[in-house]
Amino acid sequence: MSDAAAKTGRRPATSYGLATGALTLFVALSSARADEPRQAGEPRMLSEPGEVTNVIDAFDGDDVFDLHLTLGYQYAWKRAHIRRETTIGSAANPGLSTGGFTGSNMNVATYEENTSRLNTRADIGLYKDIALFFRMPIILSNDRKLTDLNGSANQQSVVLAGGPNDGAPLFTLPFNSPQRSGVEYLAVGVDFGFMNQYRDPTKPTWIGGVEARFSVGEPMHACNAAFAEKPETGPIRCAYPSDVNRNGIGRAGDVPGIDEGNFVGYPSPGITRGTTGLEFHSTISKRIKYIEPYTGFRALFEFPQAKSDFGSTDLKGALVAHPPLQGWVYVGLQVIPWEQRESFQRVTFDGRVGASYRSEGRDYSELFDALGSSSALSLRRPAYAAYMADPAMPGGTIVDTGSQRVYFTGITDVSAYASIRASFSVTWQAGEYIKFTAGGGLTRDQSHLITADQACNSDASGSIGQSGPCRVETPATATTPGAVRASGIPNPHYRPTINAVGRRFRTDDSNLWDAWIMGIVMF
């Protein structure tokens, strides 16, 4: 240090400038964000958010086009217990039913379903954070069966009892459905990125979208794999609902597309739900260093197609005339323990928990095939859509044989229930053009009724002649005589054999496990 510098206490200009420059550089490096906007001429780096909020782009800088192709395999296996209410009196069987209450304690069957599915998807970038996508799940195999539950196979005449004129159980154990396969549905949708953390670090990443689902294959029909393939050798395995005798012959006009003359034939088991669906979804996430928490929801609305076995469900007396509405909410956490953005490599762990609600609706239950293919006359014979006044008895009511015949298809009124789900997956992005994902999950369903149709619709517009059995007697008083009035109109979907209180079926202990693996090619 020079004498002048020593006298003034100042450092030389050269040393002061170097120190100030080093401090400025350190502060700049410390405060620099890894997610700053890319400058012109700077090479591309990995800048996509986590898997759940990633929407591919187009016309984004020098990346004018994006196409992602996904191919995956999923295996799911479901197990549930089927039980049936009982009205057996306590005098004969103490503890089963007392005080008029119904006990849901008769074991019926163990339900097993195994599904192998090929998941295909294509995402096409339309603009910045806007993508068009197509999905087509393909069922490679779907197997369902009902087996003994704690000795229920030895008591079928009790736990599977039909109507008084059936003479046999509704179905027999073990019961096997035919194997189903084919295209489950075709989905077309659009995803939007409303916010993107990598474009504006002050905001989270928020996406939303809508998807339309179309059943393009044969709708499911109730079938029994143990029955014959052709009517010449016995009852056929798949019958149209109006085929009362299950011999391949049914009434004209009772099958969609057949207008005149009797038809001869039988449907295939089918694989689609026979509905058109509309799904809405949204997810929001925010990356903080090595973690990216997120939350989201999905909602699905389905509308039955005319060609399906839902048939004419919008009948005047029907209490439930639509498939169930479904909603999901979920929260999750993505952990990114390792990534090299300059080489487009990353490993992501994803853990998620969620809950769903499925409203009451007409649906394919665990007993769809077993009840829908039953030979019991209490289920095979048609119900009529309306009643009329009895001309031979004032105030009486009889079936209107000119009204629509309503056949039992196996589709039943399933009561509302909730589900919880936990899943885990890992994604390895091996490079700029390919990544792989594997994972698994468990879903637990709440116990619920699967034959929940009620006898009467409390529609007050019907007259006493249209009320059928839906009528009540007004008690007589000292000044007013007793009278009978309509309490509603009959529900044509109601079948006492399976819908009367004390004879209804329900599912308990329902668990679904699934595992999947998929690869994604990115252009």
For 387-421, write each residue's pLDDT tens digit. 888 888 877 888 888 888 888 999 999 999 999 99
Q: Taking a C-beta distance cutoff of 8 angstroms, is the pair 390, 397 a contact?
A: yes
**Has residue 361 got a pLDDT over 80?**
yes
| Pairwise CA distance, residues 469 & 456, whole Å | 8
pLDDT of residue 160: 93
**pLDDT range class, residue 251, cuts 50, 70, 90:** low
Give SS3 for 66.
coil
**Has residue 504 got a pLDDT over 50?**
yes
pLDDT of residue 481: 59
Q: What pTM, to 2 d.p., does this model score?
A: 0.83
Please report which helix (H) or strand (E) contains residue 126, including its range. Answer: strand 103-127
- Low-confidence winner among 7-16, 80-89, 148-157, 289-298 (lowest mean pLDDT): 7-16
**Has residue 448 got a pLDDT over 80?**
yes
pLDDT of residue 148: 95
pLDDT top residue among 312 and 509:
509
Please report, for residues 76, 242, 243, the alpha-carbon distance to residue 251 in angstroms, rounded to integers and kept in the order given.
39, 6, 7
Q: What is the mean pLDDT of the chain?
A: 83
pLDDT of residue 418: 97
**pLDDT range class, residue 92, cuts 50, 70, 90:** very low
pLDDT top residue among 98 and 208:
208
Which tokens is 513 given?
A: 């496990």
Tokens 């929260």 correspond to what residue?
A: 331
What are the boundaries of each domain within the chain?
Answer: 1-33, 54-223+269-455+491-522
Torsion-angle region of 223 (φ positive above 0: left; ψ -120 to 50: alpha; else: beta): beta
Q: Which of 374, 353, 323 is nearest to 444 (CA)?
A: 353
pLDDT top residue among 381 and 472:
381
**Has residue 373 got a pLDDT over 80?**
yes
CB neighbour list of residue 358: distance below 8 Å, 6 or more residues apart: 324, 325, 326, 414, 416, 417, 418, 419
* Maximum mean pLDDT: which of 12-16, 217-221, 340-344, 517-521: 517-521
Instruction: Indicate the residue type of 481.
Output: P
Q: Taking a C-beta distance cutoff of 8 angstroms, is the pair 156, 128 a contact?
A: no
Fold of 54-223+269-455+491-522: Porin (2.40.160)
pLDDT of residue 11: 40
**Has residue 3 got a pLDDT over 60?**
no
- Low-confidence winner among 214-218, 329-333, 479-483, 513-517 (lowest mean pLDDT): 479-483
- Compute the average pLDDT of residues 458-480: 72
Percent of the chain's residues with pLDDT above 70: 80
| Pairwise CA distance, residues 294 & 282, whole Å | 11
pLDDT of residue 252: 54
**Has residue 183 got a pLDDT over 90?**
yes
Please report, for residues 223, 305, 341, 349, the alpha-carbon distance to residue 35 in angstroms, rounded to integers and kept in the order given.
57, 48, 11, 21
**Has residue 25 got a pLDDT over 80?**
no
pLDDT of residue 348: 94
pLDDT per residue as tens digits for the range 415-430: 999 999 999 999 999 9
pLDDT top residue among 203 and 458:
203
Which tokens is 255 given?
A: 């099958």
